[in-house]
Amino acid sequence: MIRKIYNLLALLLITVSAAIAQDVTSDTPVLKNKKGEAYLPVTDEWALGVAANPFLGYLGNFLNGTLNQGGPSFTYGSNPANNIAIYGKKMIDEHTAYRVRFNVTVRSIINKAVVVQDNVNANPAFPSYAEDWQKVNTTALVIAPGWEKRRGSTRLQGIYGGELVIGMNVNHVKYQYGNPMTADFETPTTSNFSGQGFGNNVLGGGARVTDDKQGMNFLVGARGFIGVEYFIIPKISLGGEFGYMVAWQTQRRNTTTSQVWDAGNNSTRETKTDSYSNGGRTTLGVGIDNLSGSVNLLFYF
């Protein structure tokens, strides 16, 4: 299987090389607007860009009077090849560019839930309350350095090339409970945060999770792409691309710490569980990405 993938990559590289060899490098008339401003990028120019979808959505809301539906933001899909928010390019010549795409996300979320406080002498008419907390810390990084060729002499340009995609992410979830485990309340009243998408913190046998550390998820892949870029005004373009990527992904072990009441010792007992008995898992995949047709907005200067 791996040998077939390597052969597929070799064939892709040969095809791209043949296309490059046939690229038009002759002098082409400079395409300008009525003010004499050139539309297309030239040698040594730089470009900065973002995924334009949220900006176009914001513009649409603004025009139809529904601005309260949200403003522009850097968002990206779940596909590792699409986890890119910012683009940078350096034109080597009029038909060739080095490029890099990247996104770094550091996020901390606290979810709170109110529960009835356990009390031996509780008054049903005047209950007291406590809070359960779920704290989620997420760190994600994706970077994709690459090389791009372009064809065409009009405002509509064809682009193709390849890039290396490297990504990692880590999630760490902690829980704090307002009702402690005691001899009177071996299974205290506890909120279930499973609806937040990080698993079930209330387990069988009266156990509940206190710490859920998900192992680092690391990805590396080689991606070929092809697409278009249209210059709406001089040096500003909208574009999109499709890609085909071979990716290797590995995830280290997940460690979950839970607590349960130990009646024999009259105290809580903690237990650590590894999600993967072999220490982690590794996958290898080949597939087409970006089926959502993401749009990119680029500024050249």
Say if 88 falls within a structural domain. yes
**Dihedrals phi, psi of 109, to nearest 5 degrees:** -125, 140
Tokens describing residue 279: 């220490």
Cα separation, 77 vs 301, whole angstroms: 28
Say if 37 falls within a structural domain. no
Say if 26 falls within a structural domain. no
For the entire predicted model, the pTM comes to 0.70
Where do we find the tokens 């709406």? 232
DSSP-assigned letter for residue 85: -
Say if 8 falls within a structural domain. no
Say if 121 falls within a structural domain. yes
DSSP-assigned letter for residue 66: -
Say if 101 falls within a structural domain. yes
Does residue 84 sit in helix, strand or coil?
coil
Closest CA to 144 of 168, 159, 161, 163: 163
**What per-residue confidence (pLDDT) applies to 36?**
84
Domain count, the chain: 1
Mean pLDDT of the chain: 79
Cα separation, 89 vs 96, whole angstroms: 10
Say if 195 falls within a structural domain. yes
Cα separation, 16 vs 164, whole angstroms: 15
Predicted confidence (pLDDT) per residue in 137-174, tens digit:
988 888 889 999 999 989 999 999 999 988 888 889 99
CA atoms within 13 A on the CB side of 192: 9
Its sign, for the CA torsion 178, 180, 181, 185, is negative
Closest CA to 283 of 252, 254, 250, 253: 250
Mean of the pLDDT values across residues 40-50?
Answer: 94
**What per-residue confidence (pLDDT) applies to 16?**
45
Q: Given a cut of 90, is residue 274 above it in pLDDT?
A: no
Residue 106 domain boundaries = 42-300
Say if 22 falls within a structural domain. no
Cα separation, 247 vs 184, whole angstroms: 53
**What per-residue confidence (pLDDT) applies to 27?**
52
